[in-house]
Structure 1
Amino acid sequence: MSSDEERSAMKITALAAGFVMAGLDATVMQVAGATIQERLDASLTQLTWAVDGYVLTFAALLMLAGGLAGRIGARTVYMWGMAIFVVASLASALAPTIESLIAARLLQGAGAALFMPSSLALLVHAFPDPRERTKVLGLWSAVVSSSLALGPTVGGIMVSTLGWQSIFLINLPVGLIGMELTRRFVSRTGASRETPLAISGHATLIVVLAALSFALIEGPQRGWTSATVPAAAAVTVIGTVLLLARERHARTTVMPWTLFREPRFAGANAVGFFFNAAFYGVLFLVGLYFQHARGASPLRAGLEILPLTAFLPLSNITFARISARFANGPLLIIFLFVAAMASLAMATISPATPYWQVALALAVTGIAGGIISPAMTATMVDAAGSENGNAAGAVLNANRQVGTLVGIAVIGAVLAAAPDWTTGTATAFLAIGIAYLAAAVTAWHLIARPERRATLAQTIPATSQPAPPLSRH
């Protein structure tokens, strides 16, 4: 390996470290959920808060973090986020009660919000050539997906042997190594101290997402007609209206709305919302289903989830190889539809359903997800341009995390309202399949069709030009 290739590998590893920690937390938390419920005497609602609390601050602060990256530099913000995440992981491991665990998870989400958009911005800055960047995105996604693939097995082993606290301690060496590699191999990006921050807008967004989370998570336990749940729903609606009104007239906005004029950018963000709602909804669902409905131990549940995650890195590498031959739009449509069919097939799940059928559906979903994620990211980067890397990365990650927030909350509500685990799981798979179908329709309308029009616009002038005159010489 040449020195340039070695430096490129170190850059990819450094900038993937944050995603690796987030990916590990996404999977190992699902395996540890049942154990945490038992050890900390937590209800399903409290467990949902422990999972979704992390996503809440993550989603709510992503756009603010993108603005900070532009103001003080992406590398600085990335390092801050990694440090906060490591400290919060230690606090999670030491949490004596479910309430303290939820608080630590909220802090973890704040750290992740800082390093996620900065990571993508630094990656775009480090690899400016579009063709090279597309390949790097596939490899980078493979590194990230490997953490998802290893998460269930690692989590099951650690929970079974070392206790649930150990799933958070694993973040400490990953975070510290990532920070050191970033310091050594990742160069600083430009920063402008005069970059304005829409503080009031971000504060309103936080209130809206917190109210939405409260309504969705607490609704099944408190009752949808209790005073607090409709009040939270009203705060969500009123806050959204106020935020949109502010965005229309403010000089400094929360969202870079001009980017949404490009259909492919809007489509990538909509697909990201639906995809994360479905994929992480499945992760939350099956981890609890295998342990509560089928009596699996944490280790066995971790192994049984593997079909969903094990194929992600292979699919990412496949995308890196086929991305030059196929447009992103058709790839997204095909694999979102495949994931939808696999999920809808599980809507008939029953106690008599053999594990191999569940594993097959999860494997198909995982294979599809490994193509969908980098294709969606590549679409966003191509549509926004490298000069908008900070803002575009923050927007896509924010939409995806809001999707995760909603997906987990909805699955939690479905399970809490269902009379038994089989009925709840079947209903949840139906909702997940519908989300994938919505993403496929969005990809066709906002990504594939604009790609086709752009291709035709490029080829028609070239074929309609008159032939050049013959030279007299």
Structure 2
Amino acid sequence: MITENAAPRATASTPTRPAPAGGAAQLVVLALGFVMASLDTGIMNVAAHDLQARLGLTMSGLTWVVDGYVLAFAALLLLAGSLAKRFGARRIYLVGLAVFTAASLLGAAAPGGGALVAARFAQGAGAALFMPSSLSLLMNAFPEPARRAKVLGIWTAIVSTSVALAPTVGGLLVGTLGWRSIFLVNLPIGIAGLLLTRRVIAAVPGTGAPLSGTGHVLGLLALGSLSYALIEGPAAGWAAPGVLAAFVVTVLAAAGFVVRERTARTPVLPVTLFADSRFSAANAVGFLFNFAFYGALFVLGLFLQTGRGADAVTAGLQMLPAVLVIPIGNVLYTRIAPRTGNRAALAVPLALSAAGYLLLFLILSPTLPYGVIAVVLAVTNIGSGISSPAMTGVLMEAAGREHADIGSATLNANRQVGSLVGIAGMGAILTGAGDAYQGTGYAFALTAVALVAAAVVGWLGVRGRR
């Protein structure tokens, strides 16, 4: 049976300790993986045009350079969570960091589009391995609920800052050092993460629980085919044979997964998790939150260019107020959650964010100054910054240390699918609208509806909990 070290067998809730380390060191180390992945994703969006020109990529090839990562990441999340539970969270976290770092080196050295797509798939696989494990390790490093709420807010703020700065960093790297530098920048972060994790993060021995091979294959098929359909649908058409086939595979695999879970002796998702309304609520909120946030961000970028005539650089700068405030909300969470509990910290900011998008739907017009849009979005996304760590906090409370790995993987999978559905849905609204203002207004209205639904689910699902 594989565990994270050669020490005598311990339970999953009894981590073994390396050399003593301060809480701040543990927090920063566990954020490194997320920072690396967040930077990579944001930078890739900025570098896409240069990549296409330098490597002679077709639009289809460019799409898979960007989305191959998403497909591998979403498809492998549930398997990654189970691997962390079986073999130990730190071991799988380190494997994920190593895979991602090595794939970044391969991406930097890629001679052509095919090799680059393969490297991006490998990066997605690495990210799927370390993301669920990082939250599990964070929970073990900070077991006290009050302190963990503060740490979770700071950790989220670090990651959110990297997301906000990624486009600017990407533009500087591509403009000064060329596209290969966007992969090379991951190397020092990945190597530092590998070395420091072994030094300051406690090893959590695996439980040795058997893997559900059939269940994971069905889960991988369902998530992978759904992601493929949502990625290809907007470009190929929703009635394209490949897209329809992917949806059929999704339905069949998902149905098989549900049947298998109900009868399996070793289910992928323990039944006890879904018996807790907090777990179901956190996952539903995760889907709706990402649907709204990333769908609206996608619409905003297009609107500033097609509706208001900004060029790509100007549009990127004008979007900064919508994203730079998110770390402020993350830090506010550290002060709010210990006093109100995660229920209020989750539901109330979601409702306020919904009000902001509803306001934009009502007042959006060609005469509306950019400054008004920027202020409304800034205030709105402070709410998003508070509710995001609250959502994670609810899930971690429900999953507990025993199921932290698979619980985190489930939330990440739901959020990833929510992002894909949100972008596809908002894109369909823009396509069917009469003009940019009408389409953006309708998209903001849909965003408000999704956030209201998330607020209601969060309030009711976390009922009676602090």
Q: After TM superposition, give the deviation of residue 378 of structure 1 in Å.
A: 1.3
Q: Report the residue type matching 2:242 in the other structure.
A: T
1:217 counterpart = 2:231: yes
Q: After TM superposition, give the deviation of residue 66 of structure 1 in Å.
A: 1.4
**Distance change in 2, residues 1:225/1:6 (3 Å):** closer
**Number of the residue aligned with 1:458:** none
Distance in 1 (CA, whole Å) between partners of 2:329 and 2:176 is 31
Q: Is the contact made by 2:78 and 2:219 (CA closer than 8 Å) also made in structure 1? A: no
The percent identity for this pair of structures is: 51
1:145 counterpart = 2:160: yes
Distance in 2 (CA, whole Å) between partners of 1:359 and 1:5 is 45
Query: 1:79 pairs with 85, 88, 94, which one?
Result: 94
**Distance change in 2, residues 1:69/1:239 (3 Å):** same
**Distance change in 2, residues 1:101/1:286 (3 Å):** farther
Q: After TM superposition, give the deviation of residue 299 of structure 1 in Å.
A: 4.2
Distance in 2 (CA, whole Å) between partners of 1:294 and 1:360 is 17
Q: Report the residue type matching 2:125 in the other structure.
A: A
Query: 2:411 pairs with 396, 402, 416, which one?
Result: 396
**Number of the residue aligned with 1:463:** none
Q: Report the residue type matching 1:248 in the other structure.
A: R
Distance in 1 (CA, whole Å) between partners of 2:112 and 2:435 is 27
1:340 counterpart = 2:354: yes
**Number of the residue aligned with 1:248:** 262
Q: Cα deviation per residue 1:241-298 (whole Å; 9 max; x = unaligned)?
A: 1111111111122222321111112111111111122222334443454456556555
**Number of the residue aligned with 1:280:** 294
Q: Is the contact made by 2:20 and 2:200 (CA closer than 8 Å) also made in structure 1? A: no
Gap runs ≥5 in structure 1:
456-473
**Number of the residue aligned with 1:326:** 340
**Number of the residue aligned with 1:372:** 387
Q: Is the contact made by 2:231 and 2:420 (CA closer than 8 Å) also made in structure 1? A: no
Q: Cα deviation per residue 1:75-119 (whole Å; 9 max; x = unaligned)?
A: 111111111112223344455665554433222111111111111
**Distance change in 2, residues 1:139/1:227 (3 Å):** closer
**Distance change in 2, residues 1:187/1:59 (3 Å):** same
SS at match of 1:323: helix
**Number of the residue aligned with 1:312:** 326
Q: Is the contact made by 1:213 and 1:409 (CA closer than 8 Å) also made in structure 2? A: no
Q: Is the contact made by 1:52 and 1:405 (CA closer than 8 Å) also made in structure 2? A: no
Q: Is the contact made by 2:234 and 2:424 (CA closer than 8 Å) also made in structure 1? A: no
Q: Report the residue type matching 2:39 in the other structure.
A: L
Alignment of 1:19-418 (within 5 A): 19-33=34-48, 36=51, 49-95=64-110, 100-192=115-207, 194-291=208-305, 296=310, 299-347=313-361, 349=364, 352-414=367-429
**Distance change in 2, residues 1:104/1:389 (3 Å):** same
Q: After TM superposition, give the deviation of residue 52 of structure 1 in Å.
A: 3.8
**Distance change in 2, residues 1:254/1:421 (3 Å):** farther
- Higher deviation after alignment, 269-278 or 400-409: 400-409
Q: Report the residue type matching 2:134 in the other structure.
A: S
Distance in 2 (CA, whole Å) between partners of 1:168 and 1:434 is 38
Distance in 1 (CA, whole Å) between partners of 2:439 and 2:113 is 24
Distance in 2 (CA, whole Å) between partners of 1:218 and 1:273 is 20
Distance in 2 (CA, whole Å) between partners of 1:339 and 1:298 is 26
Distance in 2 (CA, whole Å) between partners of 1:394 and 1:38 is 36
Q: Cα deviation per residue 1:14-60 (whole Å; 9 max; x = unaligned)?
A: 10001111222343334445555666676777655544432222222
Q: Cα deviation per residue 1:125-170 (whole Å; 9 max; x = unaligned)?
A: 1122222222211222222222123223323333444444433332
**Distance change in 2, residues 1:282/1:160 (3 Å):** farther
SS at match of 1:269: helix
Q: Cα deviation per residue 1:192-220 (whole Å; 9 max; x = unaligned)?
A: 3x311122222222222232233333334
Q: Cα deviation per residue 1:413-448 (whole Å; 9 max; x = unaligned)?
A: 55566676555544443333332222112112212x
User: Which of structures 1 and 2 has the bigger CA Rg?
Assistant: 1
Query: 2:444 pairs with 424, 429, 434, which one?
Result: 429
Distance in 1 (CA, whole Å) between partners of 2:54 and 2:449 is 35
Alignment length, in residue pairs? Answer: 447
Over aligned residue pairs, what C-alpha RMSD do you find? 2.9
**Distance change in 2, residues 1:210/1:390 (3 Å):** closer
**Distance change in 2, residues 1:5/1:321 (3 Å):** farther
Q: Is the contact made by 2:52 and 2:62 (CA closer than 8 Å) also made in structure 1? A: yes
Q: Cα deviation per residue 1:347-393 (whole Å; 9 max; x = unaligned)?
A: 46555543223322331232112101111111112222233322322
**Distance change in 2, residues 1:142/1:29 (3 Å):** same
- Higher deviation after alignment, 329-338 or 409-418: 409-418
Q: Calculate the TM-score normalised by the size of structure 1.
A: 0.85
